[in-house]
Structure 1
Amino acid sequence: MKTFYLNGEFMTLAQFLKANDYINSGGEAKYFLQDYVVKINGEQCSLRGKKLYEKDIVTVGNDDFVLLYDKKD
């Protein structure tokens, strides 16, 4: 499982997909989610605006990510 660090309180699924190079722009998220299975905490999600928070687990294909806050002291 990979770790993805959030810079704020949350991010949208479209932002997450772009940050991890699954899509090139936020506009592609709709089509990506139509063609690929994306799960959040084990449940399939096709909402590009879905908010992701710390400790959420996002699965894209065979890739699993756990989201954590970026701890900068």
Structure 2
Amino acid sequence: MAIDSDMIRLGQFLKLADLIDTGGEAKVLISVGDVSVNGEVDTRRGRQLHPGDVVTVRGQSARVA
């Protein structure tokens, strides 16, 4: 998935990468620690992601490009 700027927020990326269905689902999964960034759990929905970051949720991963 290519992004137009040098960063995207974690909650936005989950939806754009089709890892979740809704923003509400992103909020819940992030808050309970079910989302990891580069192998580390992150509970900040507004975490800034940059190209090369790998996001994993429910056994599925996507790389920010």
In which range does the TM-score fall when normalised by the shorter chain? 0.7 to 0.9
Provide the rounded CA distance (Å) in 2 between the counterparts of 1:18 and 1:12. Answer: 10
Out of 6-15 and 30-39, give the one that drifted further: 30-39
Alignment pair present for 1:55 and 2:52:
yes
Alignment pair present for 1:43 and 2:40:
yes
Provide the rounded CA distance (Å) in 2 between the counterparts of 1:50 and 1:14. Answer: 8
Unaligned runs of 5+ in 2: none
Unaligned runs of 5+ in 1: 69-73
SS, match of residue 31 in structure 1: helix
Q: TM-score, normalised by structure 1?
A: 0.72
Q: TM-score, normalised by structure 2?
A: 0.79
In the alignment of these two chains, the number of paired residues is 63
Structure number with higher strand proportion: 1
Structure 1: 4+ residue segments shifted above 4 A? none
Which structure has more relative contact order (CA 8 Å, sep 6+)? It is: 1
Report the structure number with the largest CA radius of gyration.
1
Provide, for residues 34-67 of structure 1, a one-character-per-residue CA deviation record: whole Å limited to 9, x for no partner: 3561110000011100000010011111111111
% same residue = 30
